[in-house]
Amino acid sequence: MLNLIGTYECKADAKGRLLMSAALKKQLAPVLQEGFVIKRSVFQPCLELYPMAEWNVMMKKVNQLNRFVKKNNDFIRRFTAGVKIVDLDVSGRLLIPSDLQRFAGITKEVVLSSAVNIIEIWDKDKYENAIDEAAVDFGELAEQVMGNIIIDGEDGVS
C-alpha cells in the first residue's frame, strides 16, 4: 500500500496541465509506469488521483456490490462518473481533463494534497476554505474517528 505524504502547490497551464513537484514524483516513482485514474471526489469539490493499483483495490470493493439493488447501481454510476485514465507526460505534467477541471473549479492555482494512498487535487482557494471550515470542529472529529482506536497496545495517536 502506498502512503503518500505532503501538500504541494502548483499551477495549471492554459490546457489544464500540472507540473508535479519533484518530492511528490519521487514518492510516486514506484507506480508511475502503471498510470493513474482521476475522478470526482464524493464529498468535496476536488478531484482524486488514484495510482492504478489503488484504483484496482477500490474497484474490487465496488465490484462486490449487488447491481440488482438499485441504490448500489446508482452509487456505482455516480462514483465512476467522469473517471479517466491519465499518465504523466515526458515533462512530468499531469493533464486534467476539462470536464474534471470544471467540476473542481481548477483554473490556475492548484493544491495537490496527499490523502494516505491517493492525491486530492484542489483549486487553491477551495482547498484553503475546506481546511478552514474543517478546523472549527477538527478536535471533535478527531475524537470521534480516532478516539477509540487501540494500536498495538497503545491508547491512540498523539
First to last CA, the chain: 23
**Count of domains forming the chain:** 1
pLDDT tens per residue across span 41-60: 999 999 999 999 999 999 99
Look up the pTM and report it: 0.86
Q: Can you give the residue range of the structural domain that contains 74?
A: 7-146
CA angle 99, 80, 90 (to 5 degrees): 55
Which 3 state secondary structure label does DSSP give 17? strand
β pairing state of 118-123 and 47-51: antiparallel
Q: How far is CA 16 from the centre of its chain?
A: 17
Residue 154 counted as domain residue: no
In this predicted structure, what is the pLDDT of residue 53?
Answer: 94
Q: Is residue 54 part of a domain?
A: yes
* Residue 56 belongs to a domain: yes
The domain that holds 21 is classified in CATH as 3.40.1550.20
Radius of gyration of the chain (CA): 17
pLDDT-flagged residues of the chain (< 70): 1, 135-136, 150-158
